[in-house]
Structures are given as structure tokens and as C-alpha cells.
Amino acid sequence: MEAPPGGVDDMTRLSYLHEPGVLQNLATRYELNEIYTYTGSILIAVNPFQRLPHLYDTHMMEQYKGADFGELSPHVFAIADVAYREMINEGKNNSILVSGESGAGKTETTKMLMRYLAHLGGRSGVEGRTVEQQVLESNPVLEAFGNAKTVRNNNSSRFGKFVEIQFDKTGRISGAAIRTYLLERSRVCQINTPERNYHCFYFLCAAPHEDTQRYKLADARSFHYLNQSSCIEVEGINDAEEYLATRRAMDIVGINEEEQEAIFRVVAAVLHIGNINFAKGKEVDSSVIQDDNSRFHLNTASELLECDCNNLEKALITREIVTPEEIITRTLDPESALASRDALAKTIYSRLFDWIVEKINVSIGQDPNSKQLIGVLDIYGFESFKINSFEQLCINYTNEKLQQHFNQHVFKMEQEEYTREEINWSYIEFVDNQDVLDLIEKVLISSYFSYYDRSHKMQGSYDVTSKAK
Ligand SMILES: Nc1ncnc2c1ncn2[C@@H]1O[C@H](COP(=O)(O)OP(=O)(O)OP(=O)(O)O)[C@@H](O)[C@H]1O
């Protein structure tokens, strides 16, 4: 049977279900501005790289509300609608997994899903900060601190996110929780052209003068953590406007003025920390603050962090080694002091990010009585660069794990359907990635336990119960 000229909207209807056929079908539909296509109950979205407002307006939302799956053209709203109706009618909790490589459109898709769920479960006519409004406004805040310009995407999320939306008995949104995973910490200290560091650094450098003065900030180009890349400005992002927009979004999610001040103080402190340099000290393998300029940044960082300047200096140029008998303080050579400076900056920044997420969660509030929820998982896709680090290992392992879950779920579903319809079926061949998972899980888990054993024996506190924990 010939494929229709406009392609098919469900790829299970393709006569030949192989890679060229799938790609051809997606390309044909894309040419006609049809960015969504089903494969059974899965939705494939092809990034349009242009705003298509008619696809997501209220009129469109209303059309998909309660419509049978497959009755209308494939759409992300249809997926959310199924999840919502199953929850209401069958009391089933559902999670929607949004996956794909960087720049594929996961975050945009997640936003559309949340907007639709907010439309279904929102309270019309309620003034002020509603839960759904807070959930939606958490996006710009999280994006300011967790997104950056990368080679592939000007607004790339550098963390994974699971949003759990809770509903009350009547199907209204009653609470929400945001969990984030694995923020890319290395970006805080190391970037290459044409990428940027996290947006918030540039937003803050472009803030109104009285703000930059308060944090003793100058042009973004004067900070080491930003000027390692020649990319400072991004087309389509107005950093000064985004700074104000981020502040407004913070107001909505319940981060008050004082807390906002504290957050931006920490952001500025990280920039100042990055400009502290070291020279060789008099002793062997020791270092000192390099010059007046570095001392200015050290003093400013300690002022902003409200910590003692001498202690901060000591923390950067020495290392404490804790042994069972005593604490040994060792001086660091300039190279090690730089590594210790960067480690401090990364830790402060990632803790700030976690604090912001926690703050948003407290402010949105969870509904302890909610028995019904829909989760949306926006997780980074596979990554493979010229040089890959531990972060890529974790990201790719997560994806392999999700792939395994997906295989099991889809094949189980298929097999149940065949049994239900009394169709004779034989085992379906598929690429099973269990070997990859075993390689990582068995090696990592066993080495974790052997490390655990050794470290506890060393401290003399090893016992079977603590191992079991
Ligand atoms: N449905 C859409 N409509 C219009 N533009 C879109 C859509 N989906 C994606 N885009 C465009 O593509 C860009 C990248 O999308 P998005 O940030 O969602 O990708 P991602 O898969 O989340 O990437 P990363 O993993 O790097 O965070 C968006 O900034 C937007 O310009």
C-alpha cells in the first residue's frame, strides 16, 4: 500500500516500518508544518525552530479537552489530556517522559504540557499567586540559574527536572513539587567559545547601575569565569531585560526581596572568586594571593558571602587533611589553589541552585492530602563530545536506564495486547541494552561497596548494620 502524499499521522500505519520510512514520514509532515506524529501512544515532536502560536492557544487547548486520543491531529495536548483523564476516571497516577538530544525541544514541550495541565486543573477567576501560576513561573527562575547557551541551543537546560503536579479530588491543581538532577557544575568555572556560562551571571552584569554597584560588578568581559569564551552576548537574549524579568518571576514564586538580594550576592561572589589568582609563596608548594587586584576580589567575595576574609584566604591556599589521629594543614601550590578556588565556586553555585529549587517548592507548597498526580520528566538526552567527563557518563547512563524502562514497558504492553486479542506471537527481537547497564551498575556498585568497606574499616567503625544502610 502506498503511503499517502502527506504522510501518516501514526507511524504504526506505515507499510514499511524501518528507519528510512520513519524519517521520510517525519520529513513529509514537517514540510507541511505538522511537527507532531504518533507512534502508537508515543508522540514524536520535531523542533519547528519558529513560533507557532496557533498550535498552542486557548482555542487549541479547548479542542483537545476531553477529545478521544487519535481523534484529532497528534499533539502534545492530547498526551497531557490522556494522562489527566486517566487520573480523573481511573484514579491512575501518570508520568510523561520527555526525552531527546540537546536542542530537540524537550523544555518547550514540557512547558506546553504544564500549560495544558494548568488549563485543565487551574482555578479560573482566582486572583494572585495560584499554584499553577507559580509552577509556570518557576520556569524562568530555574532557566536563569540552570540554563546556558551551548553550541546546540541558546537556552540549554543544564539539569534534569521532574515536576510533580498534585491534584485534589475535584481535579484541581492543589500542589506541586519540583525535583532537579545533576546540575552541570563544571560550567561555572570552565566554558569555551561559542558557549556561555549560566544566564544569571550575564543578567546580573547587565543589571541597573545601582545593583551592579552594590555587588561591585563590572562588564561581564572582566570576569574570568565569563571571558574564557568570546561569547558574551546572545542574539535574542536581552540580559538587562532578563534580569528584571527574573526578579519579577522570583516575586511570583515567593522569593522575597531580601532573599533575592542574598541570591544575587552569591552569584556576584562566585564571579569575584573566579578572579582571585595566586602566585608562588616563599615556602615550597605554597601560594599567596597574587596582587592587589586579586585581593580586591577576595575581599569583595568575603563581604558578599558575609564570611571572614582571612578564613576565606586560608581555605583557598591550604588544605586540611583529617586523619583519625589529627587534622593536618598543608599549603597548596598555585595550581592546586586554583583548583581549590574553582571547587569552592562550583560548590557554592550548585548549593545556591538547590536552595532556590527548595525555596520554590516551599513557596508553591505540596498538598499532603493529594492522592492524584501527574509527573513530567524533562531529562537531558545522550551526550557525546570530543572530550567527555563524568557528567556525560552520568547523563548517558540515565538515558540507558530510561531506555531499558521504555523497552520493558512497551514490549510488555504489546505482549499483553496480543494475548488479549489472542494473536499468536513469538519473541520480538530488539536491541537490549541490559549489558551496558550491567557494565556500569555492577562495576560501580561493587566498587562502591569495596570502598565503603575499606573506609569504614579504616575508621574502626565498620559493622554489618551500617553496611546494610
Ligand atoms: N514547539 C516549539 N515551538 C517553537 N519553538 C520551539 C519548540 N520546541 C523547541 N523550540 C525552539 O528550540 C529551542 C530549543 O528547545 P529546548 O530548549 O526546548 O530544547 P531541549 O531539548 O530542552 O534542549 P536542552 O537539552 O539543550 O535543554 C527553543 O529555545 C525554541 O527556540
Is 108's C-beta closer than 6 angstroms to any atom of ligand 1? yes
Percent of the chain with pLDDT over 90: 71
Give pLDDT, residue 458.
40
For residue 379, what pLDDT band results from cuts at 50, 70 and 90? Answer: confident
* Closest C-alpha to ligand 1, atom 30: 49
Q: Which atom of ligand 1 is nearest to the CA of 111?
A: 18
Is 153's C-beta closer than 6 angstroms to any atom of ligand 1? yes
Which residues line the annotated binding site for ATP? Answer: 100-107
Is 160's C-beta closer than 6 angstroms to any atom of ligand 1? no
Q: How many CB atoms lie within 10 A of CB 371?
A: 12
The rounded Å distance from CA 35 to ligand 1 centre is: 13
**311 vs 186: CA distance, rounded Å:** 25
Domains of the chain: 268-350 (1.20.120.720), 407-468 (no CATH)
Q: Which secondary-structure segment (H or E) carries 450? A: helix 434-459
Cα–Cα distances in angstroms (integers) from residue 148 to residues 100, 114, 136, 381, in the given order: 18, 22, 19, 16
Give pLDDT, residue 423.
83
Is 99's C-beta closer than 6 angstroms to any atom of ligand 1? no
The rounded Å distance from CA 378 to ligand 1 centre is: 12
User: Does residue 199 contact residue 242 with C-beta atoms inside 8 Å?
Assistant: yes
Q: Is 256 left (phi over 0), alpha (psi -120 to 50) or beta?
A: beta
Q: Over the stretch 104-130, which tens digit does the pLDDT of each residue have?
A: 999 999 999 999 999 999 865 555 678
Q: How many CB atoms lie within 10 A of CB 235?
A: 6
Listed range (129-133, 159-163, 208-212, 224-228) with the worst mean pLDDT: 129-133
Is 52's C-beta closer than 6 angstroms to any atom of ligand 1? yes
For residue 457, what pLDDT band results from cuts at 50, 70 and 90? Answer: very low
* Closest C-alpha to ligand 1, atom 11: 49
Mean pLDDT of 26-51: 94
Is 106's C-beta closer than 6 angstroms to any atom of ligand 1? yes
Q: Over the stretch 352-370, which tens digit does the pLDDT of each residue have?
A: 999 999 999 998 899 988 9
* Bigger pLDDT: 444 vs 438: 438
The rounded Å distance from CA 150 to ligand 1 centre is: 12
The rounded Å distance from CA 25 to ligand 1 centre is: 21
Q: Which residues of 163-174 are buried (b: 16+ CB within 10 A; e: fewer)?
A: bbbbbeeeebbb
**For every residue of 412-444, which 3-state class applies, written as one string?**
HHHHHHHHHCCCCCCCCCCCCCHHHHHHHHHHH
| 3-state secondary structure (DSSP) of residue 231 | coil
Is 380's C-beta closer than 6 angstroms to any atom of ligand 1? yes
Give pLDDT, residue 410.
79
Residues with catalytic function: 102-103, 107, 153, 156-157, 381, 383
Peptide bond into 194 cis (omega under 30): yes
Residue 464: is its pLDDT beyond 50? no
**119 vs 56: CA distance, rounded Å:** 11
Give pLDDT, residue 469.
30
Cell of 272: 569575584
What does residue 48 show for φ and ψ, rounded to 5 degrees?
-80, -15
For residue 172, what pLDDT band results from cuts at 50, 70 and 90? Answer: very high
User: Does residue 149 contact residue 156 with C-beta atoms inside 8 Å?
Assistant: yes
Instruction: State the chain's mean pLDDT as an integer.
Output: 90
User: Does residue 218 contact residue 178 with C-beta atoms inside 8 Å?
Assistant: no
For residue 449, what pLDDT band results from cuts at 50, 70 and 90? Answer: low
Q: How many CB atoms lie within 10 A of CB 295?
A: 15
Mean pLDDT of 41-60: 94
Q: Which atom of ligand 1 is nearest to the CA of 110?
A: 18
* Closest C-alpha to ligand 1, atom 8: 105
| 3-state secondary structure (DSSP) of residue 29 | helix
User: Does residue 95 contact residue 375 with C-beta atoms inside 8 Å?
Assistant: yes
Give pLDDT, residue 223.
98
Mean pLDDT of 296-321: 97
Q: Which of 64, 61, 8 is nearest to 37 (CA)?
A: 8
Residue 450: is its pLDDT beyond 80? no
For residue 385, what pLDDT band results from cuts at 50, 70 and 90? Answer: confident
**182 vs 391: CA distance, rounded Å:** 8
**457 vs 454: CA distance, rounded Å:** 5
Percent of the chain with pLDDT over 70: 92
Q: Which atom of ligand 1 is nearest to the CA of 35?
A: 1
| pTM across the whole model | 0.88
Give pLDDT, residue 76.
97
Cα–Cα distances in angstroms (integers) from residue 274 to residues 190, 269, 301, 311, 463, in the given order: 10, 9, 10, 17, 43
Provide the strand spans (E) within 61-154: 94-98, 147-148
The rounded Å distance from CA 428 to ligand 1 centre is: 34
Residue with cell 487547548: 61
Give pLDDT, residue 453.
55
